[in-house]
Structure 1
Amino acid sequence: MVAYLLSKPNGSWKASMKVWVGLPAAAAVVVVFLIFAGVAALPAAMAAVVEHTFVVSQVNLTRLCKETLVTVVNGQLPGPAIEVTEGDSVVVHVVNRSPYNMTIHWHGVKQRLNCWADGVPMVTQCPILPGRSFTYRFNVAGQEGTLWWHAHVPCLRATLHGALIIRPRHSPYPFAPKPDREIPVVIGEWWDMDLAQLDRNTMDGFLVDVPTGSTINGKLGDLYSCSGAAQDGFVLEVEPGKTYLLRLMNAALFSEYYLKVAGHRMTVVASDANYVRPYTTDVVAIAPGETMDVLLPADAPPGRSYYMAALAIQAPEPDVQVPPTITRGIVQYRSSSSDVAVDGVVVPAADPAVVMPDMPDQHDTTISFHFHGNLSSLRRRHRVPPARADDHMLVTLSLGSVCRDGGRACARSDSDESIIVGTMNDVSFRAPTAAAMPLLEAHYYGRGDMAMAAAAGVELRALPDAPLRVFNFTDPAYIPYGPKEAPLEPTEKQTTVRRFRHGAVVEVVFQDTAVMQSDSNPMHLHGHDMFVLAHGLGNYDAARDVATYNLLDPPLKNTVVVPRLGWVAVRFVADNPGTWYIHCHFDFHLSMGMVAVFIVEDGSSADTYLPPPPADLPKCGSNKGGLYLPEEFYLQK
Structure 2
Amino acid sequence: MASMESRSLPRAAATSMALAIAIVFLIYTTERLGDAASVEHTFMVSQVKMTHLCKETLVTVVNGQLPGPAIYVTEGDSVTVHVVNKSPHNITIHWHGVKQWLNCWADGVPMITQLPIQPNQNFTYRFNVIGQEGTLWWHAHVPFLRASLHGALIIRPRNGASSYPFPKPDREVPIIIGDYWQLDLAQAARRMMHGFLFSFANASTINGKLGDLFNCSGVPEDSYVLDVVPGKTYLLRIINAGLFSEFYLKIAGHKFTVVGADANYISPYTTDVIAIAPGETVDALVVADALPGRYYMVALPNQAPLPDTQTPEYTTRGIMQYSNTYSSADDPAGLMSDRGVEEKEEEDKGSSGDVPVAPEMPDIHDTITSYYFHSNLTNLYQTVVPQRVDERLFIVLSLGSICQHGQSCRRGDHNETILIATMNNVSFQDPTGKTPLLEAHYYHTGSVDLMQELPDRPPRAFNFTDEALIPYGPKEMRLEPSYKATMVRRFRHGAVVEMVFQSTAVLQGDSNPMHLHGHNMILLAQGFGNFDAAKDVAKYNLVNPPVKNTILVPNLGWAAIRFVANNPGVWFMHCHYEFHLTMGMAAVFIVEDGPTVNTSLPPPPAHFPTYCGHDNNLLPDELCLQTKKDA
Residue 49 (structure 2) aligns with: 60
Question: Residues 290-369 of structure 1 correspond to what in structure 2 (within 5 A)?
Answer: 290-302=280-292, 304-337=293-326, 351-369=353-371
Residue 402 (structure 1) aligns with: 402
Correspondence 1:507 to 2:504: no
How far off its partner does 1:335 sit?
Answer: 3.2
The superposition leaves residues 264-307 of structure 1 with CA deviations (integer Å, 9 ceiling, x where unpaired) of 000000000000100000000000000000001000111x1000
Residue 146 (structure 1) aligns with: 135
How far off its partner does 1:488 sit?
Answer: 0.5
Once residues 498 and 166 of structure 2 are traced to their aligned partners in structure 1, the CA distance between those partners, rounded to angstroms, is 34
The superposition leaves residues 149-168 of structure 1 with CA deviations (integer Å, 9 ceiling, x where unpaired) of 00000000000000000000
Once residues 422 and 32 of structure 2 are traced to their aligned partners in structure 1, the CA distance between those partners, rounded to angstroms, is 50
How far off its partner does 1:367 sit?
Answer: 0.4
Residue 11 (structure 1) aligns with: none
Q: Is the 8 A contact 1:40 1:48 kept in 2?
A: no
TM-aligned CA distance change 1:127 to 1:621, over 3 Å:
farther
Correspondence 1:112 to 2:101: yes
How far off its partner does 1:205 sit?
Answer: 2.5
- Matched residue SS, 2:187: helix
Once residues 66 and 105 of structure 1 are traced to their aligned partners in structure 2, the CA distance between those partners, rounded to angstroms, is 30
Report the AA paired with residue 377 of structure 2: L
How far off its partner does 1:32 sit?
Answer: 9.8
TM-aligned CA distance change 1:38 to 1:605, over 3 Å:
closer
State the TM-score, normalizing by the size of structure 2. 0.89
- Matched residue SS, 1:462: coil
TM-aligned CA distance change 1:414 to 1:205, over 3 Å:
farther
- Matched residue SS, 1:490: coil
Residue 632 (structure 1) aligns with: none
The superposition leaves residues 16-51 of structure 1 with CA deviations (integer Å, 9 ceiling, x where unpaired) of xx9x99845667889999999999999996211100
Report the AA paired with residue 502 of structure 2: Q
**Which residue of 262, 272, 283 maps to 2:252?**
262
TM-aligned CA distance change 1:300 to 1:529, over 3 Å:
same
How far off its partner does 1:619 sit?
Answer: 3.2
Q: Where does the alignment leave 5 or more consecutive residues of structure 2 unmatched?
A: 1-6, 328-350, 620-631
- Matched residue SS, 1:485: helix
Once residues 499 and 600 of structure 1 are traced to their aligned partners in structure 2, the CA distance between those partners, rounded to angstroms, is 6
Tell which deviates more after alignment, 32-41 or 517-526.
32-41
TM-aligned CA distance change 1:391 to 1:452, over 3 Å:
farther
How far off its partner does 1:200 sit?
Answer: 1.1
Residue 462 (structure 1) aligns with: 453
Residue 471 (structure 1) aligns with: 462
**Which residue of 221, 231, 243 maps to 1:253?**
243
Once residues 613 and 213 of structure 2 are traced to their aligned partners in structure 1, the CA distance between those partners, rounded to angstroms, is 45
**Which residue of 441, 444, 463 maps to 1:443?**
441
Residue 624 (structure 2) aligns with: none
Aligned length: 589
Residue 389 (structure 1) aligns with: 389
Once residues 575 and 37 of structure 1 are traced to their aligned partners in structure 2, the CA distance between those partners, rounded to angstroms, is 20
Once residues 531 and 173 of structure 2 are traced to their aligned partners in structure 1, the CA distance between those partners, rounded to angstroms, is 39
The superposition leaves residues 508-565 of structure 1 with CA deviations (integer Å, 9 ceiling, x where unpaired) of 0000000001110000000000000000000000011000000000000000000000
Residue 583 (structure 1) aligns with: 574
The superposition leaves residues 304-362 of structure 1 with CA deviations (integer Å, 9 ceiling, x where unpaired) of 10000000111101111123310000000003259xxxxxxxxxx97442100100001
- Matched residue SS, 1:484: helix
- Matched residue SS, 2:179: strand
Report the AA paired with residue 364 of structure 1: D
How far off its partner does 1:624 sit?
Answer: 8.3
Identity of aligned residues (%): 62
TM-aligned CA distance change 1:242 to 1:221, over 3 Å:
same
Correspondence 1:167 to 2:166: no
Residue 81 (structure 2) aligns with: 92
Once residues 131 and 37 of structure 1 are traced to their aligned partners in structure 2, the CA distance between those partners, rounded to angstroms, is 34
Report the AA paired with residue 60 of structure 1: K
Residue 174 (structure 2) aligns with: 184
Q: Is the 8 A contact 1:578 1:601 kept in 2?
A: yes
- Matched residue SS, 2:610: coil
Q: Is the 8 A contact 2:166 2:259 kept in 1?
A: no
- Matched residue SS, 1:488: coil
Residue 486 (structure 1) aligns with: 477
Residue 417 (structure 1) aligns with: 416
State the TM-score, normalizing by the size of structure 1. 0.88
**Which residue of 526, 535, 539 maps to 2:517?**
526
TM-aligned CA distance change 1:625 to 1:503, over 3 Å:
closer
- Matched residue SS, 1:477: helix
The superposition leaves residues 576-605 of structure 1 with CA deviations (integer Å, 9 ceiling, x where unpaired) of 000110000000000000000011000011
The superposition leaves residues 211-251 of structure 1 with CA deviations (integer Å, 9 ceiling, x where unpaired) of 11100001100000012111001000000000000000000
TM-aligned CA distance change 1:190 to 1:562, over 3 Å:
same
Report the AA paired with residue 436 of structure 1: K
- Matched residue SS, 1:362: coil
How far off its partner does 1:437 sit?
Answer: 1.1
How far off its partner does 1:618 sit?
Answer: 2.4
The superposition leaves residues 427-461 of structure 1 with CA deviations (integer Å, 9 ceiling, x where unpaired) of 0010111x131111111111xxxx641xx6x9510
Q: Aligned-pair RMSD on alpha carbons?
A: 2.7
Correspondence 1:378 to 2:397: no
Q: Is the 8 A contact 1:39 1:48 kept in 2?
A: no
Report the AA paired with residue 389 of structure 1: V
Residue 269 (structure 2) aligns with: 279
**Which residue of 15, 37, 40 maps to 1:48?**
37
The superposition leaves residues 601-621 of structure 1 with CA deviations (integer Å, 9 ceiling, x where unpaired) of 000111100000123222349
TM-aligned CA distance change 1:129 to 1:540, over 3 Å:
same
Once residues 487 and 532 of structure 1 are traced to their aligned partners in structure 2, the CA distance between those partners, rounded to angstroms, is 33
Residue 486 (structure 2) aligns with: 495
Report the AA paired with residue 396 of structure 2: T
Q: Is the 8 A contact 1:186 1:217 kept in 2?
A: yes
- Matched residue SS, 1:241: coil
Report the AA paired with residue 441 of structure 1: E
- Matched residue SS, 1:183: strand
Residue 598 (structure 1) aligns with: 589
Report the AA paired with residue 209 of structure 1: S
The superposition leaves residues 461-513 of structure 1 with CA deviations (integer Å, 9 ceiling, x where unpaired) of 01000011210000000000111100101111001011101000000000000
- Matched residue SS, 1:201: helix
Residue 225 (structure 1) aligns with: 215
Q: Where does the alignment leave 5 or more consecutive residues of structure 1 unmatched?
A: 1-17, 339-348, 629-637
Once residues 582 and 40 of structure 1 are traced to their aligned partners in structure 2, the CA distance between those partners, rounded to angstroms, is 29
TM-aligned CA distance change 1:161 to 1:321, over 3 Å:
same
How far off its partner does 1:411 sit?
Answer: 1.4
How far off its partner does 1:376 sit?
Answer: 0.4
TM-aligned CA distance change 1:335 to 1:431, over 3 Å:
same
Q: Is the 8 A contact 2:230 2:326 kept in 1?
A: no
TM-aligned CA distance change 1:41 to 1:526, over 3 Å:
closer
TM-aligned CA distance change 1:580 to 1:42, over 3 Å:
closer
- Matched residue SS, 2:370: helix
Residue 616 (structure 1) aligns with: 607
Residue 431 (structure 1) aligns with: 430
Once residues 74 and 357 of structure 1 are traced to their aligned partners in structure 2, the CA distance between those partners, rounded to angstroms, is 35
Q: Is the 8 A contact 2:210 2:221 kept in 1?
A: yes
Q: Is the 8 A contact 2:295 2:356 kept in 1?
A: yes
Once residues 64 and 36 of structure 1 are traced to their aligned partners in structure 2, the CA distance between those partners, rounded to angstroms, is 52
Residue 336 (structure 2) aligns with: none
Once residues 592 and 290 of structure 2 are traced to their aligned partners in structure 1, the CA distance between those partners, rounded to angstroms, is 54
